[in-house]
Amino acid sequence: MVGGGSGSFIGAVHRNAAWIDGAFELTAGAFSSNPERSKTSGAELGIAPERVYSSYREMIEIESQMDPEERIHAVAIVTPNHVHFEPAMMALEHGFHVIIDKPIAFDVDEAVKLRDKVNETGNILGLTHTYTGYPMIKEARHRIAAGEIGALRKIFVEYPQGWLSTFLEKDGHKQASWRTDPSRSGAGGSVGDIGTHAANLAEYLSGLMITEICAELNIVVDGRLLDDDASALLHFENGVTGVLIATQVAAGVENNLSIRVYGEHGGFEWSHTDPNTLIHRRNEGPDQILRAGTEYLCEDAQRATRLPAGHPEGYIEAFANIYLEIARAIRDHEEMGYKDGEYDFPGAEDGVRGMAFVQTMIESARSKEKWTPFQLP
Amino acid sequence: MVGGGSGSFIGAVHRNAAWIDGAFELTAGAFSSNPERSKTSGAELGIAPERVYSSYREMIEIESQMDPEERIHAVAIVTPNHVHFEPAMMALEHGFHVIIDKPIAFDVDEAVKLRDKVNETGNILGLTHTYTGYPMIKEARHRIAAGEIGALRKIFVEYPQGWLSTFLEKDGHKQASWRTDPSRSGAGGSVGDIGTHAANLAEYLSGLMITEICAELNIVVDGRLLDDDASALLHFENGVTGVLIATQVAAGVENNLSIRVYGEHGGFEWSHTDPNTLIHRRNEGPDQILRAGTEYLCEDAQRATRLPAGHPEGYIEAFANIYLEIARAIRDHEEMGYKDGEYDFPGAEDGVRGMAFVQTMIESARSKEKWTPFQLP
Amino acid sequence: MVGGGSGSFIGAVHRNAAWIDGAFELTAGAFSSNPERSKTSGAELGIAPERVYSSYREMIEIESQMDPEERIHAVAIVTPNHVHFEPAMMALEHGFHVIIDKPIAFDVDEAVKLRDKVNETGNILGLTHTYTGYPMIKEARHRIAAGEIGALRKIFVEYPQGWLSTFLEKDGHKQASWRTDPSRSGAGGSVGDIGTHAANLAEYLSGLMITEICAELNIVVDGRLLDDDASALLHFENGVTGVLIATQVAAGVENNLSIRVYGEHGGFEWSHTDPNTLIHRRNEGPDQILRAGTEYLCEDAQRATRLPAGHPEGYIEAFANIYLEIARAIRDHEEMGYKDGEYDFPGAEDGVRGMAFVQTMIESARSKEKWTPFQLP
Amino acid sequence: MVGGGSGSFIGAVHRNAAWIDGAFELTAGAFSSNPERSKTSGAELGIAPERVYSSYREMIEIESQMDPEERIHAVAIVTPNHVHFEPAMMALEHGFHVIIDKPIAFDVDEAVKLRDKVNETGNILGLTHTYTGYPMIKEARHRIAAGEIGALRKIFVEYPQGWLSTFLEKDGHKQASWRTDPSRSGAGGSVGDIGTHAANLAEYLSGLMITEICAELNIVVDGRLLDDDASALLHFENGVTGVLIATQVAAGVENNLSIRVYGEHGGFEWSHTDPNTLIHRRNEGPDQILRAGTEYLCEDAQRATRLPAGHPEGYIEAFANIYLEIARAIRDHEEMGYKDGEYDFPGAEDGVRGMAFVQTMIESARSKEKWTPFQLP
């Protein structure tokens, strides 16, 4: 693990997710750019002291020279965005698989280089777009692909939060500070932090790619350096249209990602406030309540649940579903059975799309033209 | 009453609303452009045969010559949009008050003329933007005006329906036919039918006027002649921004108008699916559930409820709240006590804004420029 | 109308319900036992002064001698329980139909006499067990009767309120005072006021009668004279068992009647907090959300809705559905077309059952035996 | 681990719960009474082959002779109820700590012996009454203890499930078979399987013990050998009364444990369908929505959450909270710092109460007397 020392939010989540199913063991780490803090964090985590490193460079170099039976298999990178690229590149080049928290990198350039490196090395790179790990998201995706609601027409996706309603970073609030700092977060604020989740979810669920964007980005809180509020009209493939909202100044709102997709015959509605439920709206006949853990779900959704219906699973479990798929891919890779396209986790290509999304949103927000094309580099 | 014969949806609602509190009696009507059908409808409604007229012209002329104690006081116009202007003008000119279902008229020109006639005659014109009649909307408006959530920042309003997901008008579906016909509905489809409700609600609740619009209108169902899907980014006064969705092709969705408004310290969330509840999100401390019929509500909200908390009131009651306010205004008018600005119901000015909203949405949708100013004629 | 003067809760509801559909006109009344107050209330309601009476006796006598075309058709009795019997008997004896707010009378004896009088005179007596007027209750009843969930097994009905959590009657709170006073309310407090609603709803929905009761009644608030809290295990016909809760000391709870009925293959769940929704639980396949105003509902449920799905109807509309059925029965009666069993509203027989329920609950609560048989007099 | 081989439900949950926070490692096991199956399960779990045992006896004996640094610290027993007592006794006697799935044993006698053994050895015994692990349960308990809703009055607890609505055990359904078999489950069916959870939760939350029970137990499904449906009126200490429902034939219902507790000034309502929310009903002022992961929660609730508000945690996390507390107790025990009463997890005493609850429910159900005292052996 790179990053994720004491006080880290997402580092702890990665560990919970890696551990809950026994899919990974944490055996080494460079938990902080401060060697002392890395040491302390490693000790707290029960890591053997000789494998707590003072930098990721040290870790990757030393581990890569260890006996294959002993050394780490994959590197999980849970640092702020500006420290994604280098450790990821280095890990890939030294033969390690990589798990990165989203967004994949600081900008499009870095993302493209990482993707190319992945293609070149054949190593695995997993990107933790958590929300695609929820079973009911997989169920909706399956049913949409099977044509259950006919040709798609509308996609509404929104990700409102309220935690940045005040000028938190002024007083050094750890999470707020780096996320609102262009030198650590990249060119996008809310659009990178949560907008990429929303866009990724919309594309994953619908199977349709965004083609054009008409966006507005705002800095709502005085003094802030990056957008804390984003909204956009969207064009998808096949003439489908939609709306995306990603705001961090919806005061009092927690973390309410939701998506609604409508086709000719009905729609699917999912909200992170009740993630084990998927509402199936229907033009004719009563709406249905689809539930995690039931027998009528598709195979992918079933594989993504641990418990029978009525035993709620949450964010860590969704996260862990991505870890499980990555673990499966790594195992296959090590056993020479890896087959492209067989695994259900976001990867380098999604990472590139994410960075391109941020860039296109920013371009569109600056443009007087209504529509800005979404082009992949 | 003009229109509202057998099979009419909104005519029956107007009657329920007028009757529920005993605020109005229905004593005369021209219920259909077909005199026979008017007669039958009048009989069904128990109207004295001599006061069931074969046209609104006849009704207004004859009634205006009757003894003031006997004749009607107000004309409720519940016809399709293209038959709003003429009966309304004629009624105002003959000294009657007018209640019109929204939108006020066929286009901006007609709306302006009606407003001018209202100002000239001093008669009352009420416009049934139903949703402003809900007590919890009045409560939210009151608390926002009192600064409870600080300066406003974001307004999300959406009005999704699914009933036009298929080409209903092809087979002569009564409601669908006129609403999708430019010669009866006007230049706007969904944007006029439900978009005006959403825009009106946003302005009513927030106290802020829309200043610029970036819209997309779509005809989703093949063969349809008017937009059945609208979305827009919005600029309001005071730098507030927002998003508006008004679609009639969200297949399987009923009639789910909802509005969320966020300020510096919190937000208010209201949905038509549970209209007696208002959620108060807060930056600090637990969110609150504000409920209709409770003692802690403001005076306007209390006046708009008939029952103690836990006894749900619905659409007809909200409608009736508008009728009650109009009745109060008419009574004051007749007793020479009418005071401008004392009554809480939408009127001619709102009607003009509504028509201008439709026109601006259409202009913006046709423009390649991102923003189109919202200007009142 | 007997009772229902200014400040009355249920009197106003009866008027709203009678008026909303234009089913009844209010033309005469004895609105208070205080003749002055009756006069004032009558004037406020726009009743002709000569038909505002100083007592129900006067009203019934004078009206019964009027021309049949002019006089009242039915008497609505909305007084406290101890003033149900006499006006009802007198009205029936003078040839009027009767509408009584529940419970039908002060005790079982009175109820039986009223039932016998109804049978003897052939006049109509309607009892406003409001909750049976909701369309989704009718839908559940229809589907259960049609065997959709198989043989019934369990019935859970509860009616929690919190408004009597404090000793309101001490300070003369109008509603609390008579409801907690044995001389006006009868032998039951919560069990009569809301328990009868719950029991009636359970029997109406399931089509099964209660046969045995194991009850506990409590006076929770110090100083109160009647039970404010009731719970019971229930035996129904066909070996079905259940639980009933009726409490008025669930502090902070509004008026949350709910019922859940389960059979071999599924269940139906309805709550007054969202009365336009009926959840259909299913052993196999996804649960369904049945909604008022949709086309797939049974005829009875359709007749009990005024609006398309998504336009909420509430308590007054449910109340009005009972009024509409009574009006239909009265019309048929007057036109000699009345057919027993053709109408869907609670009547004298339900009234007797209600009073017997109160008495059985009290007996059981006093008994050390577990089960007390529910016997109809 | 004893039990929990392939196909086990609760065994997997125990592992997820033990792993998610890195609190325990799984290093040895007797995963099945069938040695072959134990071996296979051990291999699947990555356990060193020499520490996969063919019986718990073998495991406990061999492990107890290993070097203290190497051997297991605690034994998790996840077998059917009739195989709780022996391995637990043996483990305690050999110096191991014990974690048992509830109910603690087969009957009261066994439970008492286990409790006595715990007291005698000073070893730790944790009982996984999962639902007490939820943060919002801890919050409600804290606020009740702090007097926030005044003296308690009513407790409604219910645990409806529907999965035993059909005669599943007939066809050898694994979970159904042992749970409905008196020789493996004990004298109680639903009352033991889920009723004990409900009773434990009610006592934990309220801080009040059940003193008297008036119960009905039913075998609803023909051919079944144990009760599948239980309901009871309850008396608690301090004159508090309540109702308990525990049924497994509420067809279509998942696993909807819920509890509502009311006091003089308000109430708390919690449902397992939305476990991260606690509703605070209030006599005066708006109700409040208390949410997991917020800053205003008590220390115990904060310690029981891993994620900020809006990131749902579920059943495994609640389970893991119990494991974390047990781990803390074990660590303190090993470091000689164990202090009785400092840890927040159910133990042997709760186990005895649970078995006594089952026995009292059965006695009461058989009795013609209304009330049966709840007495602890």
DSSP for C95-117? Answer: T-EEEEPSS-SSSHHHHHHHHHH
- The ipTM, to two decimals, is 0.96
d(CA D76, CA D101): 8
Apex A344 CA angle, A342 and A347, nearest 5: 100
Residue B115 lies in a domain: yes
Residue C7 scores a pLDDT above 90: no
Angstrom distances, CA of residue C196 to CA of A266, C214, C268: 42, 15, 21
Q: Spell out which residues of chain D touch residue C369, defining contact as CB-CB under 8 Å.
A: 368-370
Please answer whether residues D87 and D60 qualify as being in contact, where contact means their C-beta atoms are separated by less than 8 angstroms: yes
Q: Both A292 and A177 in a single domain?
A: yes
Residue A372 covered by a domain: no
User: If you measure CA to CA, which chain B residue comes closest to D288?
Assistant: B288
pLDDT at residue C341, as a whole number = 87
What is the C-alpha separation between D97 and D117, in angstroms, rounded?
11
Report residue A27 as tokens: 């055996």
A282 contacts B251? CB cut-off 8 A: yes
Residues D140 and D116 in one domain: no
- Structural domain including B164 reads 134-307
**Quick check: A21 and D21 CB within 8 A?**
no
The pLDDT of residue D340 is 87
Answer whether residue D282 is part of any domain. yes
Co-location of A19 and A70 in the same domain:
yes
Q: Is the confidence at residue B6, as pLDDT, over 90?
A: no
Count of structural domains within chain B: 2
* Shared domain check, A157 and A120: no
* Residues above pLDDT 70, as percent of chain B: 100
Q: Assign 3-state DSSP to chain B and report helix, strand, coil percentages, each to 5.
A: 40, 20, 40
Q: Are residues D37 and D84 in the same domain?
A: yes
Q: Is A289 on the interface with C (CB under 8 A)?
A: yes
**Between chains, do A280 and C296 touch, taking CB under 8 Å as contact?**
no
Closest chain A residue to the Cα of B279, Cα to Cα: A252
Query: Which residues of A fall within a CB distance of 8 Å from B266?
Result: 251-252
My answer on whether B254 and B205 are in the same domain is yes
Q: Chain D residues with CB inside 8 Å of B289's CB?
A: 279, 286-289
In this prediction, the residues of chain D whose per-residue pLDDT falls under 50 are none
B145 lies in the same domain as B97: no
Asked if the structure places residue A370 within a domain, the reply is no
Do D80 and D146 reside in the same domain of the chain? no
Q: What is the pLDDT of residues A276-298, one digit of tens each?
A: 999 999 999 999 999 999 999 99
Angstrom distances, CA of residue D321 to CA of A310, D131, D134, D135, D144:
19, 10, 8, 9, 21
Instruction: Let me know if residue C376 belongs to a domain.
Output: no
The answer as to whether D143 is a domain residue is: yes
C-contacting chains (≥3 CB pairs under 8 Å): A, B, D
pTM: 0.97
Which residues of chain B neighbour C16 with C-beta distances below 8 Å? 20-21, 306
C294–A288: do the CB atoms touch at under 8 Å?
Answer: no
pLDDT digits (tens, 9 = 90+) for C56-104: 999 999 999 999 999 999 999 999 999 999 999 999 999 999 999 999 9
DSSP letter assigned to residue A101: P
Residues C256 and C191 in one domain: yes
Contacts of B288 (CB under 8 A, 6+ apart): B279, B280, B282, D286, D287, D288, D289
CA-to-CA distance for A240 and A234, rounded, in angstroms?
8
Residue D351: the pLDDT is 97
Task: Using 50 as the pLDDT threshold, list the residues of chain A that sit under it.
Answer: none
Task: Please tell me whether residues A39 and A140 are part of one structural domain.
Answer: no
> Which band of pLDDT confidence, cut at 50, 70 and 90, is reported for residue C125?
very high
3-state secondary structure C273-328: CCCCEEEEEECCCCEEEEECCCCCCCHHHHHCCCCCCCCCCCHHHHHHHHHHHHHH
Identify residue D245 by its one-letter amino acid code. Answer: I
Q: Which of B284, B352, B286 is nearest to B106 (CA)?
A: B352
Q: Taking a contact as any Cβ pair under 8 Å apart, which residues of chain A between 133 and 172 contact chain C?
A: none
Does the residue B62 lie in any domain? yes
Report the DSSP pairing between strands A229-236 and B74-77: unpaired
Q: Mind telling me how many Å the CA of A344 is from chain C's nearest CA? A: 25
If you compute the radius of gyration of chain C from its CA atoms, what whole number of angstroms results?
20
Q: What rounded mean pLDDT belongs to chain C?
A: 96
B363 CB neighbours in chain A (<8 A) are: none
Q: Verify that C154 and C26 share a domain, yes or no.
A: no
> Which amino acid would we find at residue D10?
I
Amino acid at position D363, single letter: E
Same domain, D123 and D167: no
Residue A146 lies in a domain: yes
Measured CA distances, B112 to B105, B116, B119, B348, D124 (Å):
9, 6, 11, 8, 82
Q: How far away is chain B from the Cα of A237, in angstroms, using its nearest Cα?
A: 14
Does C287 reach chain A within 8 Å, measured CB to CB? yes
Instruction: Please state, rounded to an integer, the average pLDDT across all residues of chain B.
Output: 96
CATH number of the domain bearing residue C31: 3.40.50.720
pLDDT at residue D312, rounded to an integer: 98
Quick check: helix, strand or coil at residue A124?
coil
